[in-house]
Chains A and B, each alone.
Chain A
Amino acid sequence: MSQNLTLTYAVFFLFILFVNGCTTNSTTAETGTGEELIEKALAIHDRVLTVDTHADTPLRMIEPGFDMAERHDPKETGSKVDYPRMMEGGLDAIFFAAFVAQDIRDDDGNTRAKALCLQMIDSIVASTEKNSDLVGLALNPGDAYALEEAGKRAIYIGIENGYPIGKDLSNVALYFEKGVRYITLVHSSNNDLADSATDPDGTEHGGISAFGAEVVREMNRLGIMVDISHGNDSVFYDAIALSKAPIIASHSNARAVTDHKRNMTDEMLKLMAENGGVVQLTMLSNYLREAPANPKRDSAIAALRANMKPASEMTQEERRAMRKAFNEIDEKYPSPPATVEHVVDHIDHIVKVAGIDHVGIGCDFDGGGGIEGVFDASEVMNITIELVKRGYTEEQIQKIWGANLIRVFKEVQAVAEQIQSDGLS
């Protein structure tokens, strides 16, 4: 009964989304009633393999007592992915990223980063083993299809930030053996492999370091996808030049649509197409649109502050009351969110610049990703609905939702086999 109500509500919500979006239809947009279109989109969504290349859900897995087999309320807990919601959203496969925050780059720090990374990877593997009736650990491109056929979700492993490699190249093979199939070279600060797009100190290596180049070669040899998200622009160009296999951006958007240094320029998108790689669109509001003004909230906050006594003179009780008042204003005037229309604006642009074969989806759930309409894993079908609304065909949607990434993954493995074969001969 409650499931039926949920479904009814979901379809109504999707219908409202559709109606609201109708005014922006392009000339190639799909025609038909809203209900017919949603029905068509959901059928496509059900038929195609859907792959999300980036979720920081392992951070949730290390929360004491967190159970991936339970459905969590994202508005209560902030959690965006669990296995029930993957099923609800029709999300067939996901890359869980083992993330270790950048810390000091010495032997001590590297050893600790490795231990923490292995703990994360072990938590992913343990989760798949504990929930083997729902999911399976996926290691190869074909595993996603096989698991989908078996009615299970495919769980791939990535590493976000090459920091846990430290200065020991043999760690790359260790992580591969553990199941890691992509490594994001760098995160929010420079590391020993590469420069970050967001390090306040700017560039350190001029892109990928000499050691980072060795790591890329080792990833090519093993069949690990090279992920340039979070790297600065030079990291992208270096990776294109160094990698013998196509590269990926596991969660990045188009800079021409939203000017953010984590997003990719048109020149980079064109090069990505020449490289045969893929850019995976992410659901981070700040990468999807310029944050709009919120004047009503700003006025209400200013008025509250104007009548506030100095915080240092407040009693705890007064502070609690003031906090409540501020929170109520935030709830009354929430920031206008990014929407699924923004997501598909970026897809439209990447398709126009790089082509339909070079774009995919990497939501960054549990890492900041989540927008109106695609707030968590249970709502990813809304991307498909918007794509159908704008006239994308099933074949195109299939490419966007997974076939492009799987193609790159296969090519990365083929290159690895070739390198290993050449090495043996």
Chain B
Amino acid sequence: MRRLLFFLISLGPCAPAASAVFHPLRLSLCEIEYTPGTQLLTINLKLFLTDVNEALVFDPNSKELAFCQPNEPAHADQMLLDYLDQFFYVKANGKRIDLQIKRKKLSGDGENTALGVYFEYQQQQPLASLEIKNAVFTDLFFDQNNIVYVHVNGKSKSMMLNKKTTTHQLTF
């Protein structure tokens, strides 16, 4: 299993406080990887924690969901999955992957704290196509941009998905 140590990324200051118009670029990262040898399809989402809180509990600075903390409530993961279910999916060979959180991780600090959400999926058939939808936080910000990196069979490709272009399909 590949170590995924996505560091904090931002283009510019990326202070993710909620405001409607003049604000820095809104961004998330998603890395999808498939290695035929392990038949493992992995998905790592990197989301600004303030955006997650804004999306789930309408307060960017809320401590209510306490992700990755000892007091994280039992319903936190389900709320996150319910949200992702509306705005994010990956289809492998046309079949939508059932997203189950394998682990989560916080990185960075202050307003730049990022929540990493890691998923694994056993893809036993050779991967012929991937369809990715990533419209996370486009309900919050009209200019949300979601960078997606795909690494399949030793080849890498990046794409940008957003409110206008939510979905893209790759064939291998």
Contact = CB atoms under 8 A, between A and B. Distances in A.
B68 interface: no
A368 B13 contact: yes
Interface of B: 2-15, 17-26, 29, 31, 56-59, 64, 73, 75, 79, 82, 107-110, 112, 139-140, 142-145, 147, 149, 151, 155-165, 168
Nearest to B157: A119
A56 interface: yes
Q: Which among B6, B79, B158 has the greatest number of chain A C-beta atoms within 10 A? A: B158
A334 B19 contact: yes
Q: Which among B8, B140, B149 has the greatest number of chain A C-beta atoms within 10 A? A: B8
Given A101-B9, A198-B112, A335-B17, 7 more contacts: A63-B164, A103-B7, A104-B4, A189-B9, A200-B109, A326-B18, A372-B22
A330 B7 contact: no
Contact of B14 (A60, A338, A368): A368
Contacts of A308: 58
Contacts, number: 168
Nearest to A325: B58
B167 to A, nearest CB: 9
B159 A63 contact: yes
Nearest to A330: B20
Contacts of A311: 56-58, 64, 79
Interface residues on A, range: 35 or more
B25 to A, nearest CB: 4
Contact of B22 (A100, A337, A367): A337
A10 B152 CA distance: 48
A320 B75 CA distance: 19
B154 to A, nearest CB: 9
A399 to B, nearest CB: 25
Contacts of A65: 165
B21 A327 contact: no
B40 to A, nearest CB: 15
Given A200-B109, A285-B24, A286-B24, A77 B58 contact: no
B19 A330 contact: yes
Interface string A91-119: 00000000111111000100010011001
Interface in A172-231: 187-189, 198-200
Nearest to A260: B13
A322 B110 CA distance: 26
A281 interface: no
Given A62-B160, A103-B7, A108-B2, A323 B24 contact: no
Contact of B7 (A189, A260, A287, A364): A189
25 contacts: A63-B161, A63-B165, A75-B142, A77-B163, A77-B164, A78-B25, A78-B142, A78-B143, A101-B9, A101-B29, A101-B147, A112-B156, A116-B157, A119-B158, A284-B24, A294-B19, A297-B19, A304-B58, A305-B58, A311-B64, A331-B20, A335-B19, A335-B21, A368-B11, A371-B22
B69 to A, nearest CB: 16
B158 A284 contact: no
B4 to A, nearest CB: 7
Contacts of B25: 56, 78, 366-368
Contacts of B147: 59, 101
Interface in A153-176: none
Interface in A40-87: 56, 59-60, 62-66, 75-78
Given A200-B108, A311-B79, A338 B10 contact: no
A370 B18 CA distance: 17
A163 B104 CA distance: 25
Contacts of B9: 101-102, 187-189
Given A62-B158, A63-B162, A334-B19, A103 B5 contact: yes
Contacts of B162: 63, 77-78
Nearest to A329: B20
A26 interface: no
